[in-house]
Amino acid sequence: MDFTLTEAHQRMRTTVREFAEKEIAPLIPELDARGEHSTPMIRSMGKRGLLGICLPERYGGLGEDYISFGLACEELERVDTSARVVLAVHTALNSLTLLQWGTEEQKHRYLVPQARGEKIAAYALTEPGAGSDAAAIESTACRQGDHYLLNGSKFWISLADVADHFLVFAYTDKSKGHHGISAFIVERGFGISSGTIKGKLGVRAGNTGGLFLKDVPVPAENLLGQEGEGFKIAMSALDNGRYTLASGAVGIICACLEASVQYANERKTFGRPIGEHQLVQRMIAKMVAARDSGRLLYYHAGWLKNQGIRHTRETALAKWVNCNAAFEAANDAIQIHGANGYFSRYPVERYFRNARGTTIYEGTNEIHELLQAQYALGYRQDKPLRCTLPPWPSE
Protein backbone atom coordinates (compact mmCIF):
# COMPACT_ATOMS: atom_id res chain seq x y z
CA MET A 1 0.00 0.00 0.00
CA ASP A 2 1.22 3.48 -0.86
CA PHE A 3 0.39 6.26 1.58
CA THR A 4 1.81 9.04 -0.56
CA LEU A 5 -0.84 11.74 -0.77
CA THR A 6 -2.17 12.36 -4.27
CA GLU A 7 -2.68 15.78 -5.81
CA ALA A 8 -6.36 15.46 -4.95
CA HIS A 9 -5.45 14.78 -1.32
CA GLN A 10 -3.13 17.75 -1.22
CA ARG A 11 -5.81 19.99 -2.71
CA MET A 12 -8.28 18.81 -0.10
CA ARG A 13 -5.85 19.52 2.73
CA THR A 14 -5.08 22.99 1.38
CA THR A 15 -8.71 23.85 0.70
CA VAL A 16 -9.94 22.79 4.12
CA ARG A 17 -7.04 24.44 5.93
CA GLU A 18 -7.65 27.75 4.18
CA PHE A 19 -11.37 27.57 4.90
CA ALA A 20 -10.83 26.62 8.55
CA GLU A 21 -8.26 29.33 9.20
CA LYS A 22 -10.24 32.05 7.42
CA GLU A 23 -13.84 31.29 8.38
CA ILE A 24 -13.76 29.16 11.52
CA ALA A 25 -10.70 30.15 13.54
CA PRO A 26 -11.74 33.81 14.04
CA LEU A 27 -15.08 32.70 15.54
CA ILE A 28 -13.83 30.07 17.96
CA PRO A 29 -12.41 32.12 20.89
CA GLU A 30 -15.70 33.96 21.44
CA LEU A 31 -17.90 30.93 20.78
CA ASP A 32 -15.83 28.81 23.16
CA ALA A 33 -15.87 31.50 25.86
CA ARG A 34 -19.66 31.88 25.59
CA GLY A 35 -20.38 28.18 25.17
CA GLU A 36 -22.28 28.75 21.93
CA HIS A 37 -22.28 27.08 18.53
CA SER A 38 -22.55 28.65 15.08
CA THR A 39 -25.19 27.24 12.74
CA PRO A 40 -24.03 29.57 9.91
CA MET A 41 -20.58 27.96 10.20
CA ILE A 42 -22.14 24.54 9.62
CA ARG A 43 -24.12 25.83 6.66
CA SER A 44 -20.93 27.31 5.22
CA MET A 45 -19.26 23.91 5.48
CA GLY A 46 -22.20 22.45 3.59
CA LYS A 47 -22.03 25.02 0.80
CA ARG A 48 -18.40 24.07 0.19
CA GLY A 49 -19.25 20.39 -0.05
CA LEU A 50 -17.42 19.44 3.16
CA LEU A 51 -20.48 17.67 4.60
CA GLY A 52 -20.54 15.30 1.62
CA ILE A 53 -16.83 14.86 0.93
CA CYS A 54 -16.86 11.07 0.64
CA LEU A 55 -20.46 10.58 -0.50
CA PRO A 56 -21.02 9.53 -4.13
CA GLU A 57 -21.83 12.31 -6.58
CA ARG A 58 -25.17 10.70 -7.42
CA TYR A 59 -26.25 11.47 -3.84
CA GLY A 60 -25.01 15.05 -3.91
CA GLY A 61 -21.52 14.41 -2.56
CA LEU A 62 -18.05 15.28 -3.84
CA GLY A 63 -17.13 11.64 -4.49
CA GLU A 64 -13.73 11.94 -2.75
CA ASP A 65 -12.11 8.98 -0.99
CA TYR A 66 -11.87 8.26 2.72
CA ILE A 67 -8.29 9.52 3.00
CA SER A 68 -9.58 12.92 1.86
CA PHE A 69 -12.26 12.66 4.51
CA GLY A 70 -9.63 11.99 7.16
CA LEU A 71 -7.51 14.90 5.97
CA ALA A 72 -10.50 17.22 6.24
CA CYS A 73 -11.12 16.04 9.81
CA GLU A 74 -7.46 16.61 10.70
CA GLU A 75 -7.49 20.15 9.32
CA LEU A 76 -10.78 21.09 10.95
CA GLU A 77 -9.71 19.81 14.37
CA ARG A 78 -6.40 21.62 14.02
CA VAL A 79 -8.55 24.78 14.38
CA ASP A 80 -11.13 23.45 16.84
CA THR A 81 -12.68 20.13 17.78
CA SER A 82 -16.21 21.49 17.39
CA ALA A 83 -15.68 21.84 13.62
CA ARG A 84 -14.52 18.24 13.26
CA VAL A 85 -17.44 17.00 15.37
CA VAL A 86 -19.81 18.29 12.68
CA LEU A 87 -18.23 15.96 10.11
CA ALA A 88 -18.14 13.14 12.65
CA VAL A 89 -21.82 13.31 13.50
CA HIS A 90 -23.43 14.60 10.32
CA THR A 91 -21.30 12.75 7.76
CA ALA A 92 -19.68 9.76 9.46
CA LEU A 93 -22.27 8.60 11.97
CA ASN A 94 -25.37 9.53 10.00
CA SER A 95 -24.79 9.95 6.25
CA LEU A 96 -22.28 7.14 5.77
CA THR A 97 -24.54 4.85 7.78
CA LEU A 98 -27.45 5.67 5.49
CA LEU A 99 -25.18 5.05 2.50
CA GLN A 100 -24.34 1.61 3.89
CA TRP A 101 -27.75 0.46 5.12
CA GLY A 102 -30.37 2.63 3.43
CA THR A 103 -32.70 1.86 0.57
CA GLU A 104 -32.38 3.83 -2.65
CA GLU A 105 -35.47 5.82 -1.73
CA GLN A 106 -34.00 6.67 1.69
CA LYS A 107 -30.67 7.66 0.16
CA HIS A 108 -32.19 10.01 -2.39
CA ARG A 109 -34.61 11.49 0.14
CA TYR A 110 -32.13 12.08 2.97
CA LEU A 111 -28.55 11.80 1.69
CA VAL A 112 -28.89 14.37 -1.09
CA PRO A 113 -29.95 17.31 1.11
CA GLN A 114 -27.50 16.20 3.82
CA ALA A 115 -24.57 16.04 1.41
CA ARG A 116 -25.34 19.59 0.26
CA GLY A 117 -25.77 20.89 3.80
CA GLU A 118 -29.40 21.79 3.16
CA LYS A 119 -30.35 19.53 6.06
CA ILE A 120 -28.23 18.76 9.14
CA ALA A 121 -28.13 15.25 10.56
CA ALA A 122 -27.27 13.68 13.91
CA TYR A 123 -26.85 10.30 15.60
CA ALA A 124 -28.86 9.34 18.69
CA LEU A 125 -27.71 6.21 20.50
CA THR A 126 -26.47 7.31 23.95
CA GLU A 127 -28.95 7.62 26.81
CA PRO A 128 -28.67 8.77 30.44
CA GLY A 129 -28.08 5.16 31.51
CA ALA A 130 -26.47 3.76 28.36
CA GLY A 131 -23.08 4.81 27.03
CA SER A 132 -20.43 2.17 26.42
CA ASP A 133 -23.11 -0.43 27.19
CA ALA A 134 -25.25 0.41 24.16
CA ALA A 135 -27.56 -2.56 24.76
CA ALA A 136 -28.73 -0.85 27.96
CA ILE A 137 -30.81 1.72 26.05
CA GLU A 138 -34.43 1.97 27.17
CA SER A 139 -36.02 3.74 24.20
CA THR A 140 -38.77 1.73 22.53
CA ALA A 141 -40.44 1.59 19.12
CA CYS A 142 -43.87 -0.02 18.86
CA ARG A 143 -45.26 -0.91 15.43
CA GLN A 144 -48.80 0.35 14.86
CA GLY A 145 -49.99 -0.23 11.32
CA ASP A 146 -47.95 1.82 8.85
CA HIS A 147 -45.83 3.56 11.49
CA TYR A 148 -43.88 3.11 14.72
CA LEU A 149 -44.38 5.05 17.95
CA LEU A 150 -41.03 5.97 19.52
CA ASN A 151 -40.63 6.75 23.19
CA GLY A 152 -37.51 7.51 25.20
CA SER A 153 -34.77 10.03 25.75
CA LYS A 154 -31.25 10.42 24.40
CA PHE A 155 -28.34 12.22 26.03
CA TRP A 156 -24.97 13.66 24.96
CA ILE A 157 -26.23 14.07 21.40
CA SER A 158 -24.05 16.34 19.26
CA LEU A 159 -26.05 18.81 17.12
CA ALA A 160 -29.18 17.99 19.14
CA ASP A 161 -30.58 21.51 18.78
CA VAL A 162 -29.32 21.97 15.23
CA ALA A 163 -30.12 18.78 13.32
CA ASP A 164 -33.12 18.29 11.05
CA HIS A 165 -32.68 14.50 10.75
CA PHE A 166 -31.74 11.98 13.44
CA LEU A 167 -30.66 8.35 13.33
CA VAL A 168 -32.42 7.00 16.43
CA PHE A 169 -31.97 3.57 18.02
CA ALA A 170 -34.75 1.91 20.02
CA TYR A 171 -35.94 -1.53 21.06
CA THR A 172 -38.62 -3.13 18.90
CA ASP A 173 -38.35 -6.37 20.91
CA LYS A 174 -36.76 -6.10 24.36
CA SER A 175 -36.94 -9.87 24.89
CA LYS A 176 -34.23 -10.42 22.24
CA GLY A 177 -31.60 -8.35 24.01
CA HIS A 178 -29.41 -6.31 21.68
CA HIS A 179 -30.80 -8.33 18.75
CA GLY A 180 -34.09 -6.53 19.38
CA ILE A 181 -32.73 -3.02 18.72
CA SER A 182 -33.76 -1.28 15.49
CA ALA A 183 -32.68 1.92 13.77
CA PHE A 184 -34.94 4.70 12.50
CA ILE A 185 -34.55 7.84 10.38
CA VAL A 186 -36.46 10.46 12.36
CA GLU A 187 -37.18 14.00 11.23
CA ARG A 188 -37.39 16.76 13.83
CA GLY A 189 -40.84 17.61 12.48
CA PHE A 190 -42.13 14.20 13.53
CA GLY A 191 -42.27 15.52 17.11
CA ILE A 192 -38.76 15.36 18.60
CA SER A 193 -37.90 18.01 21.19
CA SER A 194 -34.39 18.86 22.39
CA GLY A 195 -32.50 20.73 25.07
CA THR A 196 -28.91 22.00 25.35
CA ILE A 197 -26.36 20.67 27.82
CA LYS A 198 -24.53 23.55 29.48
CA GLY A 199 -21.29 23.58 31.47
CA LYS A 200 -19.14 21.24 29.36
CA LEU A 201 -15.42 21.09 30.07
CA GLY A 202 -14.52 21.15 26.37
CA VAL A 203 -15.92 21.41 22.84
CA ARG A 204 -17.78 24.45 24.09
CA ALA A 205 -18.21 25.85 20.57
CA GLY A 206 -20.20 22.75 19.61
CA ASN A 207 -23.85 22.06 20.35
CA THR A 208 -24.58 19.07 22.61
CA GLY A 209 -27.93 18.21 24.11
CA GLY A 210 -30.66 15.75 24.91
CA LEU A 211 -33.53 14.45 22.79
CA PHE A 212 -36.99 13.64 24.06
CA LEU A 213 -39.42 11.35 22.25
CA LYS A 214 -42.98 10.88 23.47
CA ASP A 215 -45.23 8.88 21.15
CA VAL A 216 -43.32 10.20 18.14
CA PRO A 217 -44.82 8.65 14.99
CA VAL A 218 -42.25 7.44 12.48
CA PRO A 219 -43.34 5.99 9.10
CA ALA A 220 -42.52 2.31 8.68
CA GLU A 221 -40.51 3.13 5.55
CA ASN A 222 -38.10 5.09 7.80
CA LEU A 223 -36.89 1.89 9.43
CA LEU A 224 -33.19 1.63 8.50
CA GLY A 225 -32.22 -1.90 7.61
CA GLN A 226 -34.38 -4.61 9.10
CA GLU A 227 -35.95 -4.92 12.53
CA GLY A 228 -33.36 -6.21 14.97
CA GLU A 229 -30.36 -4.93 12.98
CA GLY A 230 -30.04 -1.73 14.97
CA PHE A 231 -27.12 -2.84 17.11
CA LYS A 232 -25.11 -3.91 14.04
CA ILE A 233 -25.98 -0.64 12.35
CA ALA A 234 -24.95 1.36 15.41
CA MET A 235 -21.59 -0.41 15.65
CA SER A 236 -20.88 0.00 11.93
CA ALA A 237 -21.63 3.70 12.30
CA LEU A 238 -19.11 3.92 15.13
CA ASP A 239 -16.43 2.56 12.79
CA ASN A 240 -16.98 5.69 10.72
CA GLY A 241 -17.18 8.04 13.68
CA ARG A 242 -14.04 6.65 15.27
CA TYR A 243 -12.21 7.22 12.02
CA THR A 244 -12.93 10.95 12.32
CA LEU A 245 -11.68 10.88 15.90
CA ALA A 246 -8.44 9.17 14.91
CA SER A 247 -7.76 11.64 12.11
CA GLY A 248 -9.00 14.64 14.06
CA ALA A 249 -6.74 13.79 16.99
CA VAL A 250 -3.77 14.29 14.68
CA GLY A 251 -5.09 17.80 14.10
CA ILE A 252 -4.96 18.50 17.84
CA ILE A 253 -1.39 17.19 17.93
CA CYS A 254 -0.44 19.46 15.01
CA ALA A 255 -1.99 22.47 16.70
CA CYS A 256 -0.16 21.73 19.96
CA LEU A 257 3.12 21.24 18.11
CA GLU A 258 2.81 24.48 16.15
CA ALA A 259 1.90 26.50 19.24
CA SER A 260 4.69 24.91 21.29
CA VAL A 261 7.38 25.47 18.65
CA GLN A 262 6.43 29.12 18.29
CA TYR A 263 6.37 29.68 22.04
CA ALA A 264 9.60 27.75 22.64
CA ASN A 265 11.41 29.93 20.12
CA GLU A 266 10.04 33.17 21.57
CA ARG A 267 10.08 32.57 25.32
CA LYS A 268 13.45 32.92 27.05
CA THR A 269 14.68 31.66 30.41
CA PHE A 270 18.19 31.90 31.79
CA GLY A 271 19.13 34.04 28.82
CA ARG A 272 18.17 31.66 26.02
CA PRO A 273 15.02 30.37 24.23
CA ILE A 274 13.37 27.56 26.16
CA GLY A 275 13.50 25.51 22.97
CA GLU A 276 17.20 24.99 23.66
CA HIS A 277 16.42 23.15 26.89
CA GLN A 278 16.50 19.39 26.37
CA LEU A 279 13.38 18.58 28.39
CA VAL A 280 11.36 20.98 26.23
CA GLN A 281 12.87 19.34 23.14
CA ARG A 282 11.80 15.95 24.44
CA MET A 283 8.16 17.06 24.71
CA ILE A 284 8.26 18.53 21.21
CA ALA A 285 9.89 15.38 19.84
CA LYS A 286 7.03 13.33 21.33
CA MET A 287 4.54 15.50 19.45
CA VAL A 288 6.41 14.99 16.18
CA ALA A 289 6.42 11.22 16.68
CA ALA A 290 2.72 11.22 17.61
CA ARG A 291 1.79 13.31 14.56
CA ASP A 292 3.64 11.11 12.08
CA SER A 293 2.68 7.75 13.58
CA GLY A 294 -0.90 8.93 14.06
CA ARG A 295 -1.19 9.78 10.40
CA LEU A 296 0.02 6.33 9.41
CA LEU A 297 -2.61 4.73 11.65
CA TYR A 298 -5.50 6.66 10.17
CA TYR A 299 -4.13 6.46 6.61
CA HIS A 300 -4.15 2.67 7.02
CA ALA A 301 -7.73 2.66 8.27
CA GLY A 302 -8.73 4.97 5.41
CA TRP A 303 -7.02 2.72 2.89
CA LEU A 304 -9.00 -0.26 4.21
CA LYS A 305 -12.20 1.77 3.89
CA ASN A 306 -11.28 2.64 0.30
CA GLN A 307 -10.86 -1.07 -0.46
CA GLY A 308 -14.19 -1.98 1.09
CA ILE A 309 -12.44 -4.12 3.74
CA ARG A 310 -13.87 -4.25 7.24
CA HIS A 311 -11.67 -2.16 9.53
CA THR A 312 -13.22 -2.27 12.99
CA ARG A 313 -10.02 -3.32 14.79
CA GLU A 314 -7.73 -0.99 12.87
CA THR A 315 -9.99 2.03 13.31
CA ALA A 316 -10.46 1.32 17.02
CA LEU A 317 -6.68 1.06 17.40
CA ALA A 318 -6.14 4.37 15.60
CA LYS A 319 -8.81 6.07 17.72
CA TRP A 320 -7.35 4.76 20.98
CA VAL A 321 -3.70 5.51 20.23
CA ASN A 322 -4.22 8.89 18.55
CA CYS A 323 -6.66 10.27 21.12
CA ASN A 324 -4.31 9.30 23.94
CA ALA A 325 -1.45 10.97 22.08
CA ALA A 326 -3.52 14.12 21.52
CA PHE A 327 -4.25 14.44 25.22
CA GLU A 328 -0.56 13.93 26.06
CA ALA A 329 0.44 16.51 23.44
CA ALA A 330 -2.01 19.05 24.89
CA ASN A 331 -0.76 18.35 28.40
CA ASP A 332 2.85 18.84 27.28
CA ALA A 333 1.93 21.98 25.36
CA ILE A 334 0.57 23.52 28.56
CA GLN A 335 3.74 22.51 30.38
CA ILE A 336 5.89 24.16 27.71
CA HIS A 337 3.83 27.34 28.02
CA GLY A 338 4.17 27.28 31.80
CA ALA A 339 1.77 29.61 33.62
CA ASN A 340 0.67 31.05 30.27
CA GLY A 341 -0.60 27.60 29.28
CA TYR A 342 -3.12 27.90 32.10
CA PHE A 343 -4.51 31.08 30.57
CA SER A 344 -7.25 31.26 27.91
CA ARG A 345 -5.26 33.89 26.02
CA TYR A 346 -3.21 30.97 24.68
CA PRO A 347 -5.03 28.25 22.65
CA VAL A 348 -3.29 25.29 24.31
CA GLU A 349 -5.68 25.61 27.25
CA ARG A 350 -8.58 24.95 24.87
CA TYR A 351 -6.73 22.12 23.13
CA PHE A 352 -6.30 20.41 26.50
CA ARG A 353 -9.99 20.68 27.37
CA ASN A 354 -11.07 19.46 23.94
CA ALA A 355 -8.59 16.58 23.84
CA ARG A 356 -9.86 15.24 27.14
CA GLY A 357 -13.25 14.43 25.66
CA THR A 358 -11.80 12.33 22.83
CA THR A 359 -10.67 9.73 25.36
CA ILE A 360 -14.29 9.26 26.49
CA TYR A 361 -16.78 9.51 23.64
CA GLU A 362 -17.29 6.88 20.92
CA GLY A 363 -15.65 4.30 23.15
CA THR A 364 -13.64 5.10 26.26
CA ASN A 365 -9.92 4.39 26.47
CA GLU A 366 -10.72 1.40 28.62
CA ILE A 367 -13.17 -0.07 26.09
CA HIS A 368 -10.66 0.27 23.23
CA GLU A 369 -7.86 -1.19 25.30
CA LEU A 370 -9.98 -4.25 26.03
CA LEU A 371 -10.98 -4.53 22.37
CA GLN A 372 -7.37 -4.73 21.22
CA ALA A 373 -6.54 -7.34 23.84
CA GLN A 374 -9.58 -9.42 22.90
CA TYR A 375 -8.63 -9.36 19.22
CA ALA A 376 -5.08 -10.46 20.09
CA LEU A 377 -6.29 -13.24 22.40
CA GLY A 378 -8.74 -14.55 19.82
CA TYR A 379 -11.79 -13.76 21.96
CA ARG A 380 -13.15 -11.35 19.34
CA GLN A 381 -13.33 -11.54 15.57
CA ASP A 382 -15.19 -9.47 12.99
CA LYS A 383 -17.92 -11.26 11.09
CA PRO A 384 -19.16 -10.15 7.66
CA LEU A 385 -22.08 -7.71 7.75
CA ARG A 386 -25.15 -8.01 5.56
CA CYS A 387 -24.47 -4.50 4.29
CA THR A 388 -21.00 -3.07 3.79
CA LEU A 389 -19.85 0.47 3.15
CA PRO A 390 -19.20 0.86 -0.60
CA PRO A 391 -15.50 0.96 -1.49
CA TRP A 392 -14.11 4.00 -3.25
CA PRO A 393 -14.85 4.93 -5.96
CA SER A 394 -18.48 4.00 -5.34
CA GLU A 395 -20.08 5.34 -8.52
CA distances from 317 to 60, 92, 135, 242, 376 (A): 31, 18, 22, 9, 12
Strands 140-144 and 223-224: unpaired
Active-site residue among 362, 366, 369, 395? 362
Angle (deg, nearest 10), helices 230-266 and 66-79: 50
How far apart are alpha carbons 215 and 170 in whole angstroms?
Answer: 13
How far apart are alpha carbons 389 and 305 in whole angstroms?
Answer: 8
Q: Which of 1, 10, 16, 7 is nearest to 251 (CA)?
A: 16
How far apart are alpha carbons 110 and 199 in whole angstroms?
Answer: 33
**Within 13 Å, how many C-alpha atoms sit on residue 68's CB side?**
25
Task: Yes or no: say if 165 and 147 are a contact pair by the CB < 8 Å rule.
Answer: no
Catalytic: 362? yes
How far apart are alpha carbons 384 and 395 in whole angstroms?
Answer: 22
Residues catalogued as catalytic: 362
